[in-house]
C-alpha cells in the first residue's frame, strides 16, 4: 500500500505548497484590486485546506484500508486537480501564456494522483471484498 500512498501524497503536497505559498506572490501586485486579492486569499486558504484534508485521508483512514476514504480521495482530487484544469480551460486557453511549467506540474500531478487511486483501489480489493 506504500506505493499508492506515495503517488497520492506527492500531488497533494505540491497542491498544498502552491496554494499556501506560491500563489501569494500576486498579493503585493498593485495591478490587482482588493476584490481580486480577496478571491486569491480565499483560493489559497481553500486549496491548502483541501490538500490538508486529502493528506489526512491518505495517512489515516485510507492507509488503514477504509474503502470510503478512497471515494473521499476521488472527490478531493476532482476539486484540487480538476480545479486547476477547469480554471486553465476557462482563463488560460482564452488568453494563452507561457505557463508551460504549471501545465507540466499539474499534468504530472494528475497522472500521479490517478495512478495512486488506481493502485490504491487494487490494494483495497486485495484486502476487502470490494467490487
DSSP one-letter string for 23-62: GGGGTT-TTS-HHHHHHHHHHHHHHHHHHHHHHHHIIIII
Domain that holds residue 102: 2-127
CA distance 32 to 51: 26
DSSP one-letter string for 66-121: -HHHHHHHHHHHHHHHHHHHHHIIIIITTS--S-HHHHHHHHHHHHHHHHHHHHHH
Dump pLDDT digits (tens) for 47-77: 999 999 999 999 999 999 999 999 999 999 9
pLDDT at 58: 97
* Residues with pLDDT less than 70, the chain: 92-98, 129-131
Which residue do the cell numbers 486547476 mark? 84
pLDDT at 101: 81
- Give CA torsion, residues 20, 22, 25, 31, to 10 deg: -90
pLDDT at 94: 59
Query: Which positions ≥6 away from 3 have C-beta within 8 Å?
Result: 119
- The verdict on pTM exceeding 0.75 is yes
Q: And the C-alpha cell for 30?
A: 498593485
When divided into structural domains, the chain yields a total of: 1
Amino acid at each position: 500500500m506504500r506505493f499508492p500512498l506515495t503517488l497520492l501524497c506527492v500531488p497533494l503536497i505540491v497542491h498544498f505548497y502552491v496554494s499556501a505559498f506560491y500563489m501569494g506572490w500576486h498579493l503585493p501586485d498593485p495591478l490587482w484590486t482588493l476584490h481580486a486579492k480577496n478571491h486569491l486569499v480565499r483560493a489559497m486558504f481553500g486549496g491548502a485546506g483541501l490538500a490538508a484534508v486529502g493528506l489526512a485521508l491518505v495517512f489515516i483512514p485510507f492507509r488503514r484500508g477504509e474503502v470510503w476514504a478512497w471515494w473521499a480521495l476521488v472527490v478531493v482530487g476532482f476539486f484540487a486537480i480538476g480545479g486547476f484544469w477547469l480554471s486553465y480551460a476557462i482563463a488560460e486557453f482564452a488568453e494563452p501564456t507561457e505557463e508551460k511549467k504549471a501545465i507540466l506540474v499539474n499534468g504530472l500531478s494528475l497522472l500521479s494522483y490517478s495512478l495512486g487511486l488506481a493502485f490504491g483501489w487494487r490494494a483495497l480489493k486485495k484486502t476487502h471484498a470490494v467490487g
